[in-house]
Amino acid sequence: MNAARFVMKCGGSTLADLPDSFYEQLRDIQLEGTVPIIVHGGGPAISDTLQKLGIETEFVNGLRKTSEEVLDVVEMVLAGGMNKQIVRRLHRVGASAIGLSGTDGQLITAQPVAQTDEIGFVGDVVGIDASLIEGVLNMGYMPVIAPIGIDGTGQRYNINADTAAGAVAAHLGVERLLVITDVPGIMKVVDDEKVVLPVVSTEQIEAMITGGDIYGGMIPKVRAAMKCLDGGVSEVVIAQGSEPNVLKRLAAGEAIGTRIVRATVHTASSRR
């Protein structure tokens, strides 16, 4: 892991469910001089709020169809509720954190995705203002970033959190992106048993998506990971947040979850 910093993506529901001990790990890592940059999601909380407000929501190819009305709720939940809840929990255990939205200081610039006619204001990342993140780090704070993007006209965009985290990692030049989730890693049925693959290559991932081994919400995660690797990040690790001392163990170099790398990995190494 980069000696000074690393990027961690975590779903909002996962972060909300994790115990204080997980936040204490983030605090301890920060005190030891390695500053985490957190990019979070919040899909279930967005869906719950939309339902309470009577606003219809649907997904197209894994992306939430986002009208201006839906976008108002996305920003409210992510940049307002979820972001500040994470910051409060970090402060409660003694960490120093600042919550940011991608629209703050045009931290995340975005453009509409190709199928914008189908899904509305969903964005692809065009740029990350790394100097803004560097400024927060230099002040001794842990940045906590909500993935809302903005373009030159002031239009907001809903951005997949995995995509945003990958872009932040690539623009900051960190060596590793950690994706903390509620599953132990990328899994595959081997000899009639479902096992976690310790290492997979981008080539193997493409084959697993085609074959149906990787599906649903894991697809945007691995797609973002591959784009992140193309941007210069050495590896992406997908691990389960409830794993005891997961962050400290990963920082110490222990093999947990699934490492995604560019190089082709021999099949036998993924069955250990």
Per DSSP, 138 falls in state H
Q: What percent of the chain has pLDDT over 70?
A: 95
Instruction: Provide the pLDDT confidence category of residue 53 given band limits of 50, 70 and 90.
Output: very high
Residue type (1 letter), 101: S
Q: Is the pLDDT of residue 30 over 60?
A: yes
As a whole number, mean pLDDT of residues 107-129 equals: 92
Question: How far is the C-alpha of 115 from the C-alpha of 265, rounded, in Å?
Answer: 34
Mean pLDDT along residues 230-246: 87
pLDDT digits over 138-196, tens only? 999 999 999 999 999 999 999 989 889 989 998 998 888 999 988 888 888 788 888 88
- Least confident among 27-36, 229-238, 256-265: 256-265
Indicate whether 58 pLDDT > 90: no
- Which pLDDT belongs to residue 266? 52
Tell me how far CA of residue 30 lies from CA of 52, 97, 175, 203, 217, in angstroms.
Answer: 38, 10, 17, 35, 30
More confident residue, 219 or 61: 219
CA distance 141 to 36: 9
On whether the CB atoms of residues 112 and 156 are closer than 8 A, the answer is: no
CB-CB neighbours of 17 under 10 Å: 12
User: Mean pLDDT: which of 17-21, 69-73, 213-217, 253-257 is highest?
Assistant: 69-73
